[in-house]
Structure 1
């Protein structure tokens, strides 16, 4: 029965949230190995509202939707864009943040990327998380460039610094975070993101009661200003930067 999803979650006493843990500042691990970030705080707020224990289940980004469909977790909060293709597979609550796919690259290279042709060149290599909207953008907009599928965005940043790849297409908050965090790498982005994307909470298909409850709680966090405070805390370079390894 469709109604069993919410009843099962309440009965279990836990809210299992699928998350990568590698998408700062939305989700990442601090020096102590503790998961922190906007996605984590949002998950905690939802769990507390439902009087449930928050259980974070780490997974590669490319496995998040299949894991949700298989029942490995109850929802996904991991910088995931709401798209028609994804929404055809699972439900979404939100959006809780408006972001966009942006390019992270070396400063000297960014100065030369002024045209579509300069981005869509066989000489260029662009990386993105496998299964992400960044991957879809590269394959569609820059088919002549080399696409490099990755599971770890942090490793891709090192690849940019070492000249192994030319750039990474990722969510704007991640790109901005890396530029601030690594001034010695002389990283940069373009004048504006490639896209505007709504980030949402992925939920099991055929779970109308659970989806309705999550959306209502999300609306409450928005209306009371709590969600705005969360965004300000994590999207601006704050005290949490000192907690990063």
Structure 2
């Protein structure tokens, strides 16, 4: 009798395990990995207006930290790297519409975005900072000082810079623009008092155009992990990407990329 019970239990376990295994196999067959390998191309979505992560050099080539990251990923997969320059506002809809395979575009992993797409482990941690018109030196020493209707604060629409401005500076007069450079021009010309945006971007603008016209409040006041975005429901691709990032960060390549794009200004000669 005891043997019979054990046999029945074993058969029940096998019955439930078989469909699960078949489902796993079918899921694996549908992975984006197979599509990329079959096509021989990795299509990467990004917005080329985000230095030093993605930008266009004097010869019209795409360069930057994220561009190098995408190329390293394509190399690891043994396929061709195909850049797909896309407006940031349409990045997630374009991924879901299969315009490209992944997003590597300095995209912050937020809970709102995570409801629409999957994200890898973060490959870099950033935060929001403030580029301030020089006329406020001595009076605006913190982002909190800008929380007043008399201050015009700008950021790029659809970004975490915009979200941070609305959340932390609800009393400020807020204006949004389609590109980062438009925001900076507003501050440089005195039509806006401050630009809220990611640290590396504000550092670049301060070095390139700020001089005595602006100053940077460089201490980030938000926590923003940047990650690679993919379609949901693809555990095999997610597993591959996370293992790729782990390898990249521990074999010296990541450090070289970080030095090249975030610790050095040499790349600016390619875009000026």
Q: TM-score range by the shorter chain?
A: over 0.9
Query: For residues 157-195 of structure 1, what are the alpha-carbon distances to aligned partners after superposition, in whole Å with 9 as ceiling and x for unaligned?
Result: 112111122222111000111111124453211151111
Q: Which has the higher strand share?
A: 1
Q: Which runs of 4 or more aligned residues in structure 1 lie more than 6 Å from their structure 2 counterparts after TM superposition?
A: none
Partner of residue 132, structure 1 = 159
Matches of 2:218 and 2:260 in 1, distance apart?
24
Partner of residue 187, structure 2 = 160
Deviates more, 1:215-224 or 1:161-170: 161-170
Higher RCO, 1 or 2 (CA under 8 Å, sep at least 6)?
Answer: 1
Partner of residue 6, structure 1 = 33
Q: Secondary structure at the match of 2:105?
A: strand
Q: Does 1:190 align with 2:220?
A: no
Matches of 1:53 and 1:73 in 2, distance apart?
13
Asked if 2 retains the 8 angstrom alpha-carbon contact of 1:110 and 1:189, the reply is no
Counterparts of 1:91-240 in structure 2, within 5 Å, are 91-114=118-141, 118-184=145-211, 186-240=213-267
Matches of 1:106 and 1:88 in 2, distance apart?
37
Aligned-residue offset at 1:236: 1.9
| Alpha-carbon distance change, 9 to 135 in structure 1, aligned in 2, over 3 angstroms | same
**What is the TM-score normalised by the length of structure 2?**
0.85
Deviates more, 1:135-144 or 1:113-122: 113-122
Aligned length: 245
| Alpha-carbon distance change, 29 to 111 in structure 1, aligned in 2, over 3 angstroms | farther
Structure 2 gap ranges (5+):
1-25
Larger radius of gyration: 2
Matches of 1:116 and 1:39 in 2, distance apart?
28
Matches of 1:95 and 1:204 in 2, distance apart?
16
Matches of 1:116 and 1:224 in 2, distance apart?
38
**What is the TM-score normalised by the length of structure 1?**
0.94
Matches of 1:166 and 1:34 in 2, distance apart?
33
| Alpha-carbon distance change, 110 to 88 in structure 1, aligned in 2, over 3 angstroms | farther
Structure 1 gap ranges (5+):
none
Root mean square deviation, CA, Å: 1.7
Q: Which has the higher helix share?
A: 2
